[in-house]
Amino acid sequence: MGIFDFLTGEFIDVIHWVDDTRDTMVWRFEREDHEIKYGAKLTVREGQSAVFVHEGQLADVFTPGLYMLETNNMPVMTTLQHWDHGFKSPFKSEIYYVNTTRFTDLKWGTKNPIMCRDPEFGPVRLRAFGTYTIRITDPAKFLSEIVGTDGEFTSDEISYQIRSIILSRASAALAGSEIPVLDMAANMPDLGKLIAAQVSPQLAEYGLSLPEFYIENISLPPAVEQALDKRTSMGLAGDLGKFTQYSAAEAMTSAAQTTNSGMGAGLGMGMGMAMANAASQSGPWGAAPAAPPPPPVEHVWHIAENGKTTGPFSKADLGRMAADGSLKRESYIWTPGQDGWLKAEDVTEMAQLFTILPPPPPPPAG
């Protein structure tokens, strides 16, 4: 072997990239003066693609495999430059490695609440957040549209733009879904698919795909959540009078057990007086008289017409509306505790409003 052949062999490069990060999407192979030796070995591993850029033009894209950079397997490069041999590098190009694996657990969330119209609560403000996954499916398009000449491009550099696209589509999907707030948790997978279907075409213009998209939570403002919790607690309490008595008894018991609280003696005297008063009011068998039942609670009603709801109305209000014709048999009405919207004629309590017979004729004069 001559000295010329030896030195030429010493200059053959081995080009490869081992990614030791979790967020690098594109990495440029650094070579002095961008000189790639004739016959260099190019290694492209699974989950990678190598993009050659020659004199500012995208020359070729290599999929996973081992390549010898020679004229017989680089037809595109051969047409771009004449090949010679020796110490002088036969071509100058830039090699960009593109990570084609999935970038997972990327976050998205609403900065500002989304205004929606709920059929039960009226106008509400919603917040939502979740995660998504992206993947580079077209390395050449991604390099030309997004990366440019950046030597090391990470997922953080494009996540803000992707989040903006997701939020615009998510806001439109949530506001236009017409799903009640209380039912959104059961419909989050379908909402996620709807948002992903609207985001994917725009990401495809950047050479990206959206393999996974998840909505993890949809929430109301804190004040609305507190009001909803109180409403739920009232429903669980049942008889509010007994619930109030139970809460007061629990509070007194807790105070009496507190050391040096000064409440023990006072509570003992109070309970003794209460027991004596109950004994004096008891009957011959020592049983206290039964308390009268609570007064009946009058229902309030809502009316749905032309996609809008009005109310609440009392039964007397509905009676007047039935008399003047603004409430009809086929009008949809709803009251708390009723299973969905029903026609007025199908609600027993309301059906009688439409069956009131006119009074008989007055007796003759004189």
Tens digits of per-residue pLDDT, 88-142? 445 667 889 999 999 999 999 988 888 888 887 788 888 899 999 999 999 999 9
358 pLDDT band (50/70/90 cuts)? low
Angstrom distance (rounded) from CA 47 to CA 25: 11
If asked whether residues 109 and 151 sit together in one domain, one would say yes
Give the DSSP H/E element, type plus range, for residue 221: none
State whether 217 and 137 are in the same domain: yes
Domain presence at residue 53: yes
Average pLDDT of the residues of the chain? 76
Q: Cα Rg for the chain, rounded, in angstroms?
A: 38
What integer pLDDT is reported at residue 209 of this predicted model?
94
Six-digit token string for 174? 């949530």
> Where among 187, 208, 223 does a domain terminate?
223
Residue 134 lies in a domain: yes
Q: Based on the fold, state whether residues 65 and 112 are members of the same structural domain.
A: no
323 inside domain: yes
Looking at the fold, whether 186 and 114 belong to one and the same domain comes out as: yes
Confidence of residue 210 (pLDDT cuts 50, 70, 90): very high
Q: Could you report the per-residue pLDDT of 34-67, keeping only the tens digit for each? A: 567 777 888 999 999 999 887 778 878 899 998 8
CA distances from 229 to 135, 219, 232, 235 (A): 41, 13, 5, 10
Range of the domain at 51: 3-99
Strand order of the β-sheet with 94-99 is 57-62, 48-54, 94-99, 24-29, 152-154
For residue 14, tell me if it sits in a domain: yes
Q: Domain count of the chain?
A: 3
Assess whether 94 and 117 both reside in one domain: no
Query: Would you say residue 189 lies in a domain?
Result: yes
Q: Are residues 147 and 205 in the same domain?
A: yes
The three-state secondary structure class of 158 is helix
Which pLDDT value is given to residue 215?
Answer: 92
CATH code for position 122:
3.30.479.30
The domain boundary residue, chosen from 66, 99, 132: 99
In-domain check, residue 39: yes
80 pLDDT higher than 80: no
Identify whether residues 317 and 346 lie together within a single domain.
Answer: yes
Determine, yes or no, domain membership for 22: yes
Query: Using alpha carbons only, what angle is made at residue 197 by residues 195 and 131, rounded to the nearest 5 degrees?
Result: 50
| Residue 66, Cβ density class (10 Å: 0-12 exposed, 13-18 middle, ≥19 buried) | exposed
Structural domain ending residue among the three candidates 223, 251, 281: 223
Q: What is the token pair recorded at 260?
A: 């040096």
Beta strands per DSSP E along 101-182? 103-109, 114-118, 122-136, 152-154
> Are residues 38 and 120 both part of a single domain?
no
Instruction: Look up tokens 């995208």; give the residue.
Output: 58
Print burial letters for 156-178: b (CB count within 10 Å at least 16), e (below 16). eebbeebbebbbebbbebbeeee
Supply 92's token pair.
Answer: 């100058």
Give dist(CA 79, CA 96) in Å, integer.
Answer: 20
What pLDDT score does 326 carry? 80
- What local confidence, expressed as pLDDT, does residue 84 receive? 45
Among residues 221, 204, 216, the alpha carbon closest in space to that of 121 is found at 221
Can you list the pairs that 312-321 forms with residues at least 24 positions away whose Cβ atoms lie under 8 Å? 315/349, 315/350, 318/344, 318/350, 318/353, 319/353
Q: Which residue has the tokens 């939020």?
A: 167
Q: Same structural domain for residues 151 and 55?
A: no
Give the pLDDT confidence score for residue 1 in this predicted structure. 42
Sheet with 301-305: strands ordered across: 308-313, 301-305, 332-334, 342-343
Residue 115 domain-assigned (yes or no): yes
Residues 350, 320: one domain?
yes
